[in-house]
Amino acid sequence: MDTPEIFYESLSKGIITYEMLDLALFSLNKRAKNYRDQKRKAKKSLYAQAQLFGFSNPDNPEEAERMEKEFYAKKERLLQIVKPACVHQELAGYKKDYVYDKDGIDYADVFIDSIFHNRVLDRGICRKEGKDIRFFVRKGEPYYRYYFFRCIGTHTYHSPINKETALSSGLPIHIINEIKTEGERNENLLPEDFVDQMLALVDSGTYTYVPSNTIRSPRESILPPVTYVIPQKYEWEEVLDLLKEKYPEKPGLMKVDLSIRLWRKIMKLRAFSAESCMRCIWEERRRR
């Protein structure tokens, strides 16, 4: 897409608006996803051709992976402008426990709990002659991925972090379902040279971030026509504080996880108030 003239004007004054940040982050994120999908396709094609014909793959998964990491790194640099609202905890899978015949365990119980079982040749039992032993695989403890969650403009972003960072951040931690993402056509994204100019301004530390659309003319609107009345300075904790002040006799109502759907509803409110936020929370609770 063509860069709006007002973006260049704001950038020349050292100003980064929420709309500029939103579109720049969206463009970086989707370009990274495009290279991620290209990498996966190349690796899958390379494996299939090697298995069937032994041909070399014309695509380069290593180059796609390098570009993917580069765009993700740029995205993280821009995300430092806005503080995360909370931490999202995603179930990544379960550890696997292996149990063998020689472990002397009750196999009836193991078999019921097992998710896979087979036989394996264990040469450690007898040096002269191998012997087949049974083994079982049981579902072990769950393990999770952690992300800083930010909502900017019309989009949400997740930044991977480790468990220690998540626990020490002091932010609320909410369990979410699997994160699914997809790419976007390049013609719908901001040009790379403009995004690089924004990054240079951010790295210099001489920018001013404007978290609302007050300096943008309605005729020059780039994003969909949605009324944003909550500036970015409002975070989830501030919304909860407003509700607790309005409804001190109902503390249990505020015990609701911050989901992407709920946050988008609050962001799109045309009249931001404790009553309108509470209606969004009630609707979210009824959906569950």
* Those residues with Cβ within 8 angstroms of residue 92's Cβ, 6 or more apart along the chain or in another chain: 142, 143, 144, 145
Residue 10 pLDDT exceeds 60: yes
Judged by average pLDDT, the poorest of 14-18, 60-64, 262-266, 283-287 is 262-266
Confidence band (pLDDT; 50, 70, 90) for 264? low
pLDDT tens digits for 23-62? 999 899 889 988 888 888 877 776 555 544 444 555 667 8
Q: Do residues 146 and 162 lie in contact, with contact meaning Cβ atoms separated by under 8 Å? A: yes
Confidence band (pLDDT; 50, 70, 90) for 262? low
Residue 202 pLDDT exceeds 60: yes
pLDDT of residue 221: 37
pTM score? 0.58
* Those residues with Cβ within 8 angstroms of residue 90's Cβ, 6 or more apart along the chain or in another chain: 144, 145, 146, 147, 175, 176, 177, 178, 179
Residue 137 pLDDT exceeds 80: no
Q: Do residues 277 and 269 lie in contact, with contact meaning Cβ atoms separated by under 8 Å? A: yes
pLDDT of residue 39: 84
pLDDT tens digits for 206-224? 888 887 644 333 333 343 3
Q: Which of 127, 123, 165, 128 is CA-nearest to residue 148?
A: 165
The rounded radius of gyration (Å) of the Cα atoms in the chain is 25
**Phi, psi torsion values for 252, nearest 5 degrees:** -65, -25
* Those residues with Cβ within 8 angstroms of residue 104's Cβ, 6 or more apart along the chain or in another chain: none
Q: Could you tell me the residue ranges of all domains in the chain?
A: 234-288
pLDDT tens digits for 58-94? 566 788 888 899 999 999 999 988 889 899 998 888 7
